[in-house]
Chain A
Amino acid sequence: MMDAVAPASDTGPNLAAIAADASGERVVGRPTVYVYEAPVRICHWVNAFSIVVLMVTGYLIGTPLPTVAGEASDNFVMGYIRFTHFAAGQVLAVFFLTRILWAFVGNHHSRQIFYVPVHRKQFWKEVLHEIRWYAFLEREPKMYVGHNPLAQTAMFTGFTLFVAFMIITGFALYSEGQGIDSWQHKLFGWVFVIWPNSQDVHTWHHLGMWALVTFVMVHIYAAIREDIMSRQSIISSMISGERQFRD
């Protein structure tokens, strides 16, 4: 699954085709593997967009904008912000669920972010290698078709677990407004058994947001860095679905 591949060994028919055109410029064929299927990519970008919207609107709900002038009946600022937050939250929930369903249907790369093979020694060895790579102790990065083991661990905790936590606490808080007979309260009301005072749920929901903020920063940085340093496509792969190895 996270088998390190020597790029040259994974050659398709279009690969390693080196030809010269009329003007003598050489076309360099590079090994390319199809990794991220369309639903994975769509979920990625919809979730990314939703999360950004949720962070901005969520922060503005906790720390509202300065008071607007005029009659209350002429304004609905908080109403619109909250509506946007709830709408984006439900979009995120739907696409997160879709992504989980796709893990059952899609290729084996689509399952990577939902588990960490903690029982495998080799996995931890490779995590260590990745840590050493990021600590500038390794000269050469290993090549992976999907996520590298460290990235897999980060995706599992930083995305899957954190987002699941935010969806659960988010729906629990949303159910407070929907009322205790709503389906949201029936499904997520148990959160208030763990934290009877919803003020605590708010606190955790805030902390979860900041955890996601740090994840997003590290995620984007690592993607850009690996794109440059590991000699393989990362960013464009999430658009085209194909991973290209540049050596």
Chain B
Amino acid sequence: MGAATETFYSVIRRQGITRRSFHKFCSLTATSLGLGPLAASRIANALETKPRVPVIWMHGLECTCCSESFIRSAHPLVKDAVLSMISLDYDDTIMAAAGHQAEAILDETRAKHKGQYILAVEGNPPLNEGGMFCIDGGKPFVEKLKMMAEDAMAIIAWGACASWGCVQAAKPNPTQATPIDKVITNKPIIKVPGCPPIAEVMTGVVTFITTFGKLPELDRQGRPKMFYSQRIHDKCYRRPHFDAGQFVEEWDDEAARKGYCLYKMGCKGPTTYNACSTVRWNGGVSFPIQSGHGCIGCSEDGFWDKGSFYDRLTNIKQFGIEKNADQIGMAAAGAVGAAVAAHAAVTAVKRLATKREDADHNS
């Protein structure tokens, strides 16, 4: 892979596209965008001179499901993303180099592309015991992360691990696994949550950055708006059943066979921001709800700590026994109701007693 900077143009030429076709493409693009006569040569110039964005892809405490998802991208094909659009200079899972050679690439990138490269992080650093729970290249991962983040242009936090913490940060979080934005605070961070994120969402984010040379627009949580601005529920194909009041009540009932809404089975679609119900998985084949199981909310903060995947309401553990908000609320309302009744009873008795006393007094 090496660290040599290639332009888009040289990659296009290498793939057998002639200079004539390249210029045709530039003119066509400029015309279809409604740009002036000079734009075609400007586009050609940019593509000829602009280096491909170098990407360093690091792995912390994670399961590699993000990489597994990424390499299954269909639109664009992952080979186009990795081999043409970006210059993936370092990815310890899929790179050919190993050992000192591999580690040398990091220093080289840092020196050569200071402030230019994208740092993509899969997984997160554990901070407990000085970061000793995740050693990478003989050093705690957190040190490597901080070092590479120092000179990066921006950081992509792949998956629920890097974005929120995920399973390794679930209570009681013995290794003190910490999401990227809590460790690196001085760089723009794009959160691409999901366990894993959808392949097309991952390559889509990469494509956006390489095409427009800037970061996509982010929401309040730091997620790209184009993929995470709506809930699964908002675009779910079973939504009409929700609005109609038609729910699956048990896993094997008639409603389940008819494909009714899984709300009562604890589907987290109404609280989960992701693109599953539109982009779907495996090249648009299906997604969990389509296969009959509720959403488990894997792209949401702390989804492991919200109780069962099959309950709508979160378990609240502060009361000793695990109860949800409605159970606690009903118990509280019942207790207050009983107290009110008891108070009313005592008031009535007292009042009668006082009246008798007064009557005795007066007679």
Contact = CB atoms under 8 A, between A and B. Distances in A.
Given A199-B306, A210-B329, A210-B333, A193 B220 contact: yes
Nearest to A73: B240
Contacts of B240: 72-73
Given A67-B260, A176-B231, A197-B271, A76 B329 contact: no
B329 A192 contact: no
A153 to B, nearest CB: 17
Interface of A: 59, 62-68, 71-79, 81-82, 134, 136, 139, 176-177, 179-180, 189-190, 192-193, 196-200, 202-204, 206-207, 209-211, 213-214, 217-218, 221, 225, 229
Given A64-B247, A139-B354, 13 more contacts: A65-B245, A67-B249, A72-B246, A73-B244, A76-B245, A176-B231, A193-B221, A197-B297, A203-B314, A207-B329, A217-B337, A221-B343, A221-B344
Chain B CB within 10 Å, residue with most, of A66, A197, A206: A197
B326 to A, nearest CB: 6
Interface in B315-347: 316, 324-326, 328-330, 332-333, 336-337, 340, 343-344, 346-347
A214 B316 CA distance: 19
A108 to B, nearest CB: 30
Nearest to B259: A72
Interface size class of B (residues with CB under 8 A): 35 or more
19 contacts: A64-B247, A66-B249, A72-B241, A73-B240, A74-B244, A75-B245, A77-B245, A81-B245, A134-B343, A192-B221, A193-B220, A193-B221, A196-B164, A197-B300, A199-B271, A199-B297, A204-B325, A210-B329, A221-B344
B97 interface: no
Given A62-B326, A199-B314, A210-B325, A67 B229 contact: no
Contacts of A202: 271, 313-314
A188 B301 CA distance: 19
A211 B331 CA distance: 11
B330 A62 contact: no
Contacts of A193: 220-221
A74 B240 CA distance: 10
A66 B246 CA distance: 8
B255 interface: yes
B263 interface: yes
A67 B246 CA distance: 5
B302 interface: yes
B340 A217 contact: yes
Nearest to A68: B245
A76 B244 contact: yes
Interface in B233-289: 234, 240-247, 249, 255, 260, 263-264, 268, 270-271
Contacts of A59: 326
B271 A198 contact: yes
A177 B260 contact: no
Contact of A75 (B246, B303, B324): B246
Contacts of B347: 136, 225, 229
A78 B244 contact: yes
A213 B329 contact: yes
B339 to A, nearest CB: 9
Nearest to A65: B245
A210 B313 CA distance: 14
B108 interface: no
A242 B63 CA distance: 70
B244 A68 contact: yes
Contact of B332 (A64, A65, A214): A214
B187 interface: no
B340 A207 contact: no
Contact of A210 (B243, B330, B343): B330
A210 B241 CA distance: 28
Contacts of A221: 340, 343-344
A93 B234 CA distance: 25
A225 B325 contact: no
Contacts of A136: 346-347, 350
Contacts of A213: 329, 333
Nearest to B341: A221
Chain B CB within 10 Å, residue with most, of A73, A193, A200, A210: A210
A196 to B, nearest CB: 4
Contacts of A207: 325, 328-329
Given A192-B221, A197-B303, A207-B325, A67 B245 contact: yes
Contact of A214 (B300, B312, B336): B336
Nearest to B248: A67
B219 interface: yes
B234 A209 contact: no
A209 to B, nearest CB: 7
B225 interface: yes
B155 to A, nearest CB: 18
B221 A209 contact: no
A203 B326 CA distance: 9
Given A62-B312, A193-B220, A199-B314, A217 B351 contact: no
A204 B246 CA distance: 26
A3 to B, nearest CB: 26
Nearest to A81: B245
A193 to B, nearest CB: 6
Contacts of B326: 59, 62-63, 206, 210
A81 B242 CA distance: 11
Contacts of B325: 203-204, 206-207, 210
